[in-house]
Structure 1
Amino acid sequence: MSLKIVKIWFIRVVPVVLFFISYYYTQFFLQSNAGTARSLTSSKTVCDSWMRSRRWESLNLNVTRKTSLFLKLADFFWQQPQSTLPLPYGIKGSELFLLKVLAVTASYEMPTSIEKLNNAPVRGYEDDVGNKTTMRLFYPESASYNPSLHNDPDTIMVLVPFKQHDLRWLKEILYDEKRVRKGFWKPPPQIWLGHTSQIRVLDPFFLKQTASALLRIPLQPKRNQRPVHPTTGILAVYMALNYCDVVHVAGFGYPKFRDQKQPIHYYGHETMKSMKDSNHDLPHEAEALKRLEDAGAILYLHPHS
């Protein structure tokens, strides 16, 4: 082979070789970058999880992720130790009322298809709070005689028993017994159209944890001191935190709790003045909500002042 032919071959082949070298180098570079991008994304996820974990630790909430919300006849009385606290933080002294109530109510857990938690009226407020109520917390004084007026027929109605009279009221409703009107700060409905299959009784554990871990208020007040209990609103937030890392909140909070004319709900006309003599510590709750918001545990769907 002459030198001239070799030169021609070299001139023709080298560009092709360089092209393939360039092509494969480019592919390797892109794949490496893609791998790096995936690694960065993964690292970011790990970092976010770590930061969220650190935020949770700083709150000292001791959320156990216990998601068995409701008392059940089958496993509560026979397997768990008896409570040492009375209502609202235990069942001591109310066992017989509970026995009768749980005997006729459903013992199902939270629906597996749950997507949202909501415990206030949605009809007429869909644009702000959504159009579904999975679970509504109530006590006799807050009960509407017909739950379907504000919620879907399949909404789970969860009784939060603050006192023994609350369980007695539900027992009288379920067994159609004579209603005893005494023992309530506001007359509860004497006729209640809730469906038995949709009724649950909240485990007092969650109210106890809301009080002690989140609000840091004493479970047993000192002598001559008025007891303080969490509101059902802050209770619902704590319950949701047992299911979710971040809870979205709409229409709830006390940004101006010192203003007696400030509405306490996004619906109705009640103001902070009506809470003046209640057994709730709203400043405590406002501070707790701020801690949760600062930690990223709750996110408000609408800005507040």
Structure 2
Amino acid sequence: MTLNLSVKEYEETSVPLLGEADCTESPGIKHRRKSREFFLAQWKNLGLSLALLLSCYSAILVPAYLLTKQPTWTESSTEEYMAILTHSAALLSRPCINGSAKAKLQNVMNLHSLLQIPVFLQNGTGHWEMAPPLGLLGSEGTLAQALTVLPHSGLPSFPDSCRRCMVVGSGGILHGKHLGAHIDKYDIIIRMNDAPVFGYEEDAGSRTTIRLIYPEAASFLAQEYQNTDIVALVVFKKLDLEWLTSVVMKKPLSWWSKLWFWRDVVNDIPLQPGNFRILNPEILSRTWHVLQTYGKHESNTVPTLGFTGVVLALQLCDEVSLAGFGYDFKYPGSMLHYYGTVRMNHMMAQVVHDVSAEHSLLHDLVKSGVVYDVTGAV
């Protein structure tokens, strides 16, 4: 028998070439391969999109947290630095004059009426027409409960002699000025919120007579309450009174109550019940009305705790000095506080406080000799 296979016939029955093999794949194999290629392409697109998004966020956010070359409060010349120390020493060395601040306050519009308000709330204090923070309308029951856990709600025992107050602001100008030893010599030292003392004694001093706080701004560090006589709550909402009761009684709030704070709040402050007070919100109310005469228009703002501290000092002391007050908006990248990394543009963006009106009023108080600005930024 003769086998006749031509070359052409062999080629037609041989294994398909690579280019032809694709055409011979089953529909299932072709579908899986195309699906895999599709998803690989989608993941590549997603990765590229995420990379571009992170790049954009980095370009916007990172510069805000990096140190800039813009001038800061700490760039004072040697002459300016020594002038601040000399001015502070001169204020402390001269005799204290009884009633000095109150007498000069008569020359500043409407502020003398602030001196007729009880500083801290006591049982039966006040008839409220406004809700917090300018009153306590609707919170009377919670207030009564909070006052029952405070053994002392009036003024603490201060020296009967001529008293000097130092209101320590949180401004960046305080950084590097070495005023701590001077600050500690004052009879009453008022601080605000969580402005630190521990680690900043050289610039900010180590003693605290009264610290004005609200729950979200109370320090979590136990050492910040050392050498502290009074922690005074500034009520911004009804829940703040419940928080104070829980802190005094050493009974943390429920998780449900904590959800209504805009940030975490401290559960414990290592002080005795007799060290707590509630600031009279009438002080904020009347101060707010005075600030409206300095502002450009009627607004839904509230006084800063710094300015509230100044009003408190005017009620308690014969002479009042300030350190760490003043904002320099010409340099938005400069330090806002004497601690931390927050920049001045943060305060420029806020709408809760009318800092321009407060600055104008503080300037008038300094110009009239009602208060003394040790660091010289007002």
Partner of residue 196, structure 1: 273
Out of 120, 123, 137, the residue aligned to residue 198 of structure 2 is 123
Out of 288, 313, 337, the residue aligned to residue 211 of structure 1 is 288
Partner of residue 158, structure 1: 232
The answer on 1:132 being equivalent to 2:182 is: no
Q: Secondary structure at the match of 2:340?
A: coil
Partner of residue 252, structure 1: 325
How far off its partner does 1:296 sit?
1.0
The alpha-carbon distance between structure 1 residues 217 and 193, as it changes in their structure 2 partners (threshold 3 A), is farther
Runs of 5+ consecutive residues of structure 2 not aligned to the other structure:
1-97, 160-186
Out of 122, 125, 128, the residue aligned to residue 72 of structure 1 is 122
Q: Secondary structure at the match of 1:62?
A: helix
Listed one character per residue, the Cα deviations across residues 201-222 of structure 1 (whole Å, up to 9, x for unaligned) are 111111112211255479xx98
Q: Secondary structure at the match of 2:147?
A: helix
CA distance in structure 2 between the partners assigned to 1:84 and 1:51 by the alignment:
30
Listed one character per residue, the Cα deviations across residues 15-53 of structure 1 (whole Å, up to 9, x for unaligned) are xxxxxxxxxxxxxxxxxxxxxxxxxxxxxxxxx999984
CA distance in structure 1 between the partners assigned to 2:100 and 2:371 by the alignment:
17
Runs of 5+ consecutive residues of structure 1 not aligned to the other structure:
1-47
How far off its partner does 1:172 sit?
3.9
Q: CA RMSD in A?
A: 3.2
Partner of residue 14, structure 1: none
The answer on 1:61 being equivalent to 2:87 is: no
Amino acid at match of 2:366: E
Partner of residue 83, structure 2: none
The alpha-carbon distance between structure 1 residues 198 and 58, as it changes in their structure 2 partners (threshold 3 A), is closer
Equivalenced residues, count: 247
- 8 Å CA contact retained: 2:214, 2:235: yes
Partner of residue 242, structure 1: 315
Q: Secondary structure at the match of 1:59?
A: coil
Q: Equivalences for 1:1-305 in 2 at 5 Å? A: 53=103, 56-66=106-116, 68-73=118-123, 75-76=124-125, 80=126, 82-113=127-158, 115-119=187-191, 120-146=195-221, 148-173=222-247, 174=249, 175-179=251-255, 180-214=257-291, 216=293, 227-254=300-327, 256-257=328-329, 259-275=331-347, 276-304=349-377
The alpha-carbon distance between structure 1 residues 130 and 193, as it changes in their structure 2 partners (threshold 3 A), is closer
CA distance in structure 2 between the partners assigned to 1:288 and 1:58 by the alignment:
9
CA distance in structure 2 between the partners assigned to 1:301 and 1:135 by the alignment:
19
CA distance in structure 1 between the partners assigned to 2:136 and 2:311 by the alignment:
20
The alpha-carbon distance between structure 1 residues 300 and 50, as it changes in their structure 2 partners (threshold 3 A), is closer
Higher relative contact order (CA 8 A, sep 6+): 2
- 8 Å CA contact retained: 1:215, 1:285: no
CA distance in structure 2 between the partners assigned to 1:168 and 1:243 by the alignment:
27
CA distance in structure 2 between the partners assigned to 1:83 and 1:212 by the alignment:
16
Partner of residue 44, structure 2: none
- 8 Å CA contact retained: 1:88, 1:161: yes
Moved more, 49-58 or 176-185: 49-58
- 8 Å CA contact retained: 1:59, 1:291: no
The alpha-carbon distance between structure 1 residues 300 and 123, as it changes in their structure 2 partners (threshold 3 A), is farther
Partner of residue 21, structure 1: none
Listed one character per residue, the Cα deviations across residues 220-279 of structure 1 (whole Å, up to 9, x for unaligned) are x98xx7x2111100100011111235311111222x135332333222222233332341
- 8 Å CA contact retained: 1:141, 1:185: yes
Amino acid at match of 1:176: P
The alpha-carbon distance between structure 1 residues 258 and 278, as it changes in their structure 2 partners (threshold 3 A), is farther
Listed one character per residue, the Cα deviations across residues 67-109 of structure 1 (whole Å, up to 9, x for unaligned) are 6311122x42xxx5x3111111111101121122111123243
CA distance in structure 1 between the partners assigned to 2:340 and 2:138 by the alignment:
36
Moved more, 57-66 or 161-170: 57-66
